[in-house]
Structure 1
């Protein structure tokens, strides 16, 4: 007998992401350690030693604090907000789905810009909402489409607007003035702006919209990316206590495990260690951009820890690089056919990528 299935589940389209395909690795007999994975954009450097100690000391025989109380208090102190304005989540993906199911619904519409992270559309559609797209144009360097967004918001009342800052995969960083204008339009229409700042710590200092925080704005942050905690999954939301409380009521209990909470607290205590890493990554990104251009693959300017460039026949390039155990992100799922995105890694790893790309260009010509 067929059971009832929510129609959005039947019609939903899960977002595509970068990262290792473990089934493929097993099939080809390749160890994950053999692959240089440029398809993801996370902190490539080792966590501070205190994190391993904290994880090892986490209590495994009892349920974790379902509210992540200590970590939430530490994050509140870091950002100068009350603890009620913070919700700790199992990675940023959980935060995105919580926002979609709390503030979007059947018969409602949400706005996204494209190209951008696919989870905003996927989560909104699973929640039943219609998704309207305001595209950034390649001929304008994929500049933030403020006028299109502002016009849409003032024309029709939307449930929420998703913005990624810096944007994945283009690296575009909306200015404070642009965000203020968009916030003003959203406030006038009673529309919630959800600003994903997953990569903001890799952008120039002062890039965060935290000073703009108000009831109509939710900020999403990724400790997974900032602190290199990819295997633990850790994110958080900053916003008005009422909105944060609604998200908390929807969050499954014990979403954030004891190891992740302990690692998060240790990472915040070692903030200086990571600020030095972020500064180093910004320098590596600038150097990689120059080297890619010299190799014949000039990237777009980026405020993130990733670079986007035209690659022509992406399938052919991916096959060439995979023979050398290098993985890059095909951006066709972003609607960018012929483009590749690469995350910034260590200097030696970046040089290996550039050498292989130069060799590919030479053989192709």
Structure 2
């Protein structure tokens, strides 16, 4: 190659994401964690109403979406910065705060994009392993020791964690954030999947945002409103951090359709809470019925679960192939690291589709027993 990229770019591995069901005709995709009930029907009207503005550049400051989100979440608009999905927030954060060689601490397994974007920014990535013996929960004592051993610019926590589905309780997170603050470490807290996992709305750290100037909360409407085709992400932090994040965001990162959608959806958080209630019931039902037939299933704090395949298949890819033959796509978790090649991830949906999932699981287990 005549023109060599930066070493950080040349050494980057390709990232793998779920949501690959579109590759297979007639397959129900359980590999992605979206609201199964789709967006509110009236969202289309809000988008159509914005089409008259297509001939103009959108407001680069995203003032209207920020005001709507501020009202919805009870924070000042100055605490909110917007992104083209949470992906842009994840990209912007290390570009703002990480100089070349700064160290960041990530949980593993977790969302791979954190490491990818930190490396692009030139940061050095360290991992803290989450162990199955501890239910894949953060070992608070071990984390405290790591933070005190050497300086870290930031620690990343995904809550609920993707792919494990674990939700850390608020008191524990507050202790971690407080200690990190004392050590001069930022905490990047990704709550993208929390709204669909917390129908009571009691697990978010947003009410604590004014207490900790080192806390940065990322969220998105991609999952909670099932609009991955509309890139609507946001970040809630101190006004000082929000100001710096806005400096590196892409110009006009939310188009007129996304801005109109964000304003409308910020007023429909009740829709997400209703979906979360149904998902909790369905998740509990799937746990009961799948465990009863011996299909790989574990308890989860959220609406998706991370399960070892056990004797159901040779590995995650093998179980994925078996379920595909019955019209169901699940996530093979080998991309999260070699020790997770024997794990799969799948979500809950609505009663009818989950019934078909359970029927497919029963067929797979009968085939497995017949071998």
What TM-score bracket applies, with the shorter chain setting the length? Answer: over 0.9
Deviations 1:1-31 (A, max 9, x none): 8235222111112321101266xx3xxxx54
Cα separation, 1, equivalents of 2:326 and 2:49 = 39
| Match of residue 88 from structure 2 | 94
Cα separation, 2, equivalents of 1:253 and 1:80 = 27
Structure 1 residue 186 and structure 2 residue 180: aligned?
yes
| Match of residue 330 from structure 1 | 332
* Structure 2 length-normalised TM: 0.92
| Match of residue 14 from structure 1 | 14
Aligned-pair Cα RMSD in Å: 1.6
Match of 1:285 among 283, 286, 299: 283
Count of aligned positions: 357
| Match of residue 300 from structure 2 | 302
Cα separation, 1, equivalents of 2:213 and 2:140 = 21
Match of 1:207 among 184, 200, 203: 203
Cα separation, 2, equivalents of 1:21 and 1:98 = 29
| Match of residue 143 from structure 2 | 149
Match of 1:167 among 149, 161, 172: 161
CA contact 2:190–2:219 (8 Å) conserved in 1? yes
CA contact 2:196–2:275 (8 Å) conserved in 1? no
| Match of residue 231 from structure 1 | 229
Question: Which segments of 5 or more consecutive residues in structure 1 lack a partner in the other structure?
Answer: none
Cα separation, 2, equivalents of 1:152 and 1:180 = 17
| Match of residue 352 from structure 2 | 348
Question: Which segments of 5 or more consecutive residues in structure 2 lack a partner in the other structure?
Answer: none
| Match of residue 122 from structure 1 | 116
**Counterpart secondary structure, 1:154:** helix
Mark the CA change 1:274 to 1:315 in structure 2 (over 3 Å): closer, same or farther.
Answer: closer
| Match of residue 241 from structure 2 | 243
* Structure 1 length-normalised TM: 0.93
Mark the CA change 1:274 to 1:176 in structure 2 (over 3 Å): closer, same or farther.
Answer: closer
| Match of residue 40 from structure 1 | 32
Deviations 1:168-224 (A, max 9, x none): 111111122211221122112111000000111123320101122221100111211
CA contact 2:196–2:272 (8 Å) conserved in 1? no
CA contact 2:216–2:236 (8 Å) conserved in 1? yes
Structure 1 residue 2 and structure 2 residue 2: aligned?
yes
